[in-house]
């Protein structure tokens, strides 16, 4: 890495632990480059139906999962306290995330798309998109009880891709070298997925996206707003 390189602050925001499955390689790329990388979950994922136990016990299991993922991909995980399946686009929730943005000072934010197609996407995912957008705005303003000053820098904003997203808005990231680490993450999350073939689905997507980029495996995002080409690793 160039001695003159200034690390970026990269913050991925999702609703539940394991939602970052389609961005694991990109987050690992940034971590390898020396960027400060955070994965923020609005909930503890305590409603996971594939894990047995009370909500409190499931939340503890999920916390254990993310601690293992931290070690695998070198990303700091942060879990907020919004109830699972209770994520709603309120001012309170947006300001809670905005306070964290003031602390982390993101250069890049990655989150869910809106997924408006009927039957696609958990409501928590769609509302996470709205909360994240609002939080970026709220983080720009001073609040008397905030520990950190406003974060007023320009933020590059990317979302996971829906089928309706046109090719001109897509940004492909080569994650071929991260494949083994991604698979290790799936080994950890398998308990939460249960019978859902998430690993197979993500591998097929990475393979298809890789064909567009001319590599073996790739992840893809929608560019909402971006500052410069160095945001993502090619």
Question: What integer is the mean pLDDT of 137-152?
Answer: 89
Say what the pLDDT of residue 155 is: 92
Percent of the chain surpassing pLDDT 90: 74
Q: How far is CA 97 from the centre of its chain?
A: 14
Q: Does domain 9-228 have CATH number 3.40.50.10320?
A: yes
How far apart are the C-alpha atoms of 62 and 18, rounded to whole Å?
A: 9
Q: 20-72, pLDDT tens digit by residue?
A: 999 999 999 999 999 999 999 999 999 998 899 999 999 999 999 999 999 99
From 6-10, 67-71, 167-171, the region with the lowest mean pLDDT: 167-171
Say what the pLDDT of residue 144 is: 75
- Find out whether 42 and 13 touch, Cβ atoms under 8 Å: yes
In 78-178, which residue ranges form alpha helices assigned H by DSSP? 91-104, 123-138
Model's pTM, two decimal places? 0.91
Say what the pLDDT of residue 118 is: 46
Is residue 121 predicted with pLDDT exceeding 80? no
> Which of 85, 49, 86, 81 is closest to 63 using CA atoms?
81
Q: Which residues pair with 37 in a beta bridge?
A: 10
Most confident of 22-36, 111-125, 155-169: 22-36
Q: Classify 159 as helix, strand or coil.
A: strand
- Find out whether 39 and 104 touch, Cβ atoms under 8 Å: no
Strand 170-174 versus strand 218-225 pairing type = antiparallel
Is residue 3 predicted with pLDDT exceeding 70? no
Question: What integer is the mean pLDDT of 197-206?
Answer: 94
Confidence of residue 5 (pLDDT cuts 50, 70, 90): confident
Say what the pLDDT of residue 4 is: 83
Is residue 1 predicted with pLDDT exceeding 70? no
CB atoms closer than 10 angstroms to residue 119: 5
Structural domain spans, the chain: 9-228
């Amino acid at each position: 890495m160039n001695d003159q390189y200034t690390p970026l602050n990269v913050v991925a925001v999702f609703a539940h632990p394991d939602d970052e499955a389609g961005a694991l390689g990109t987050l690992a790329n940034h971590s390898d480059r020396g960027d400060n990388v955070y994965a923020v979950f609005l909930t503890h994922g305590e409603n996971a139906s594939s894990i047995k136990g009370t909500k409190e016990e499931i939340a503890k299991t999920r916390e254990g999962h993310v601690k293992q993922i931290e070690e695998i991909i070198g990303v700091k995980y942060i879990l907020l306290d919004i109830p699972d399946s209770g994520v709603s686009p309120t001012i309170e929730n947006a300001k809670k995330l905005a306070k964290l943005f003031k602390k982390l000072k993101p250069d890049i934010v990655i989150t869910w798309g809106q997924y408006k197609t009927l039957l696609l996407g958990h409501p928590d995912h769609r509302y996470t998109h709205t909360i994240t957008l609002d939080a970026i705005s709220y983080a720009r303003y001073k609040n008397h009880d905030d520990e950190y000053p406003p974060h007023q820098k320009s933020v590059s904003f990317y979302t996971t891709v829906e089928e309706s997203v046109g090719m001109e808005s897509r940004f492909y990231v080569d994650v071929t070298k991260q494949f083994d680490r991604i698979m290790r993450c799936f080994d950890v999350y398998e308990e939460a997925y249960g019978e859902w073939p998430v690993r197979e689905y993500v591998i097929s997507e990475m393979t298809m996206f890789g064909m567009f980029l001319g590599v073996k495996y790739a992840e893809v995002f929608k560019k909402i707003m971006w500052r410069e080409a160095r945001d993502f690793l090619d």
